[in-house]
Amino acid sequence: MIDTLFSGLIHGGAYALVAVGVSLIFGVTNVVNFSQGSLVAVGMMLAWYCGSVLGWPLVPVVLAVVAATAALGWLINAGIIAPLEGRKPIAALLATIGVGQILDNGLQLIFGARTRPFPKLLATSNLQAFGVRFGTSDVVMVVFAVVAMLALWAFLAYGKAGRAIRATAQDPQAALQMGIPVKRIRNLAFVIGAVLSGIAGIFIGLFNANINPMNGGTIGLTAFVAAAIGGLGSIPGAVVGGIALGVIEAVGVFWFGDGAHDLITFGALLIILIVRPQGLLGPKTDVKSEPMTGTFLAGGRPIRLPWWGDLILAAAALATPFLFNDYLSGIGTQVAIYAIAAVGLTLISGSAGQTILGLAGPVAVGAYASALLTTKAHWPFLLALLSAGVIAAVCASVLTFPSWKLSGHYVAIATIGVGAVMVAIVRVAEPLTNGSLGITGIPFPSIFGAALHTQQEIYLLDVIVLILALVVVMRIQKAHLGHVFEAIGSDQEASEALSIRTGAYKALAYAVAAFLAGIAGSLLAHQYTYIDPTIFNSNMSLLILTIIVLGGMNSPLGAVLGSVILIGAPELLRVVPEARILAYGALLVVIIMFRPQGLFARKG
């Protein structure tokens, strides 16, 4: 157990370094930087290259990582985040997600996807105490973490620039009026956060011994959870949250196995959000603004087609299965499935204005529910399809129920935890779901006893379900319920002043979105005929969200267009899958900066 606690402390120290950067940037800019984990990977891979390929010793490696990550931190803020000032911070949040995708997949293109040994810049197992072997690298990391935290505290407390950072965090407008160069201070916050992440990447590489360029995303998300547990914006909270999470993870994995890792991490996030949403050391304030919610469409309105235009599009969609070959029909099924999930998201993230960052969870529940009902209970496909949607909606609603009493960015954070917990439960429920091994032998869809074996037949089924989903969502948007959703998304405080129960309506919109996500999951399971938890990762959630950002946040038809562009077009370039994901990130950033209302929407 002692070595388990020691491992937890080491990992917790690394989490704390990254979490401090997350909290510092959030405190100054009110933006959660989801590219922070990618900067960890940049530091890790650059240190590997300098240490292994160039043969540099530790000090030049550290200096190279500091210089590179500092430049990236400045570039991210000055080139992407700062130009978004004046828009709702959801725009900056999504932009950092896009930047993270660019960095992650850029590293994969440059260095390759293989796992490789990290250079021994410091000894890693040359010391022993209390029966635990550890290395000089561990001691240096702990000392560095402590010194870095103390230095940062002293800098913020007594340094001129540090006091300017604190003033900017408290009130940017007042700081600007007092002559503080707010833009430069925000650049400085991003630079400090990026450098901390890069150095954390070096220590994580030393501790883990083997690295992969895609490790950063997981580390960054865990560090974000640590920052949220400690209290976003609180530097001491980030330290406490990082160390506490590292220890909790280590002990939990020791007791329950590695499969419970995500359940422990994101379960802890949900618990802290429900019990103390501002975090362990965050200030107890009533957050009324919605920094991670609301649309950033600047008055954008979805393009409405006349009834005959909708009919023409529906007829054209129904005709495509008869015109496509097997290959194109296979691509079409992917487009339709993602479009079904994205159409539901336009209600909650578009109309109601609540960002959902974990929709892969309901997709996974729908997929597993349908697979189990057809393989073990031998239910007919159509009944399993509808049941999958209902089960996904119920599970998502139950898990998010306590979150709707929260305000501000906490609800969006909670949806990350809910999505991850859903997939984690699937992974640990081995007697039912086969855990990480997944479910095989899922039958192809069958309609009234007639099995659909060809890609064209399955594609036709998906198109029909997509059209039904579009009809339902568009009818809701035009009805009184849809107007209530739009009122909440436009101005939540004004809606509450009119006695509208905004939390209840958001919960309803999310239930509809989860239902359609479950339907999409069912179709996916029966097309693949095999599923496992790795399919339903955070990239799936981000991709679905990117689809509606591209098409138009509150435009159902825009969701279809976004799916065609993001799923259909890159599928034709499967020979370079890493470049596809990089293109997703680049396109997300470009759309947010230059066409924030989406492709299938117009400015109001």
Contact 515, 392 (CB under 8 A): yes
Contact 228, 415 (CB under 8 A): no
Question: Which pLDDT belongs to residue 288?
Answer: 46
Among 195, 149, 141, 123, which residue's Cα sits nearest to residue 7? 141
Residue 456 has pLDDT above 70, yes or no: yes
Average pLDDT over residues 189-217: 88
What are the tokens at 289? 């603004």
CA separation for the pair 289, 303 (Å, rounded): 29
Question: Which pLDDT belongs to residue 472?
Answer: 96
**pLDDT-based confidence at 293, cuts 50/70/90?**
very low
Classify residue 55 as exposed, middle or buried by CB count within 10 Å of its CB (0-12, 13-18, 19+): exposed
pTM score, whole prediction: 0.86
Contact 419, 537 (CB under 8 A): no
The share of the chain scoring above pLDDT 70, in percent, equals: 93
Average pLDDT over residues 258-274: 87
296-338 pLDDT tens trace: 444 466 777 787 888 898 899 899 988 888 888 988 999 999 9
CA separation for the pair 410, 417 (Å, rounded): 11
Question: Which pLDDT belongs to residue 597?
Answer: 73
Among 23, 39, 20, 191, which residue's Cα sits nearest to residue 100? 39
Residue 573 has pLDDT above 90, yes or no: no
Question: Which pLDDT belongs to residue 346?
Answer: 93
Average pLDDT over residues 572-592: 69
Q: Reduce the secondary structure of 397-430 to three states and give it as a string.
A: HHHHHHHHHCCCCHHHHHHHHHHHHHHHHHHHCH
Within 10 A of 519 (CB to CB), how many other CB atoms are there?
29
Average pLDDT over residues 401-426: 86
Domains defined along the chain, listed by start: 1-275 (1.10.3470), 327-569 (1.10.3470)
**pLDDT-based confidence at 287, cuts 50/70/90?**
very low
First to last CA, the chain: 61
More confident residue, 168 or 429: 429
With the C-alpha atoms ordered 333, 563, 103, 13, is the resulting torsion angle positive or negative? negative
More confident residue, 557 or 128: 557
Average pLDDT over residues 351-369: 93
The whole-angstrom distance between residue 476's C-alpha and the CA centroid of its chain comes to 27
How many residues are there in the chain?
604
Q: Report which secondary-structure segment, H or E, holds 302.
A: strand 301-302
Question: Which pLDDT belongs to residue 365?
Answer: 97
Region of poorest pLDDT, from 79-83, 211-215, 515-519, 558-562: 211-215
Question: Which pLDDT belongs to residue 576?
Answer: 52
Region of poorest pLDDT, from 375-384, 498-507, 584-593: 584-593
Region of poorest pLDDT, from 169-183, 286-300, 514-528, 557-571: 286-300
Find which of 124-128, 164-168, 526-530 is predicted with most confidence, using mean pLDDT.
526-530
> What's the chain's average pLDDT?
86
**If you compute the radius of gyration of the chain from its CA atoms, what whole number of angstroms results?**
24
Average pLDDT over residues 56-64: 93
Strands (E), 16-160: 116-117, 127-129, 132-134
78-132 pLDDT tens trace: 999 988 877 766 778 888 888 988 898 889 888 888 899 999 888 877 777 777 7
Region of poorest pLDDT, from 31-40, 44-53, 175-184, 587-596: 587-596
Question: Which pLDDT belongs to residue 549?
Answer: 85
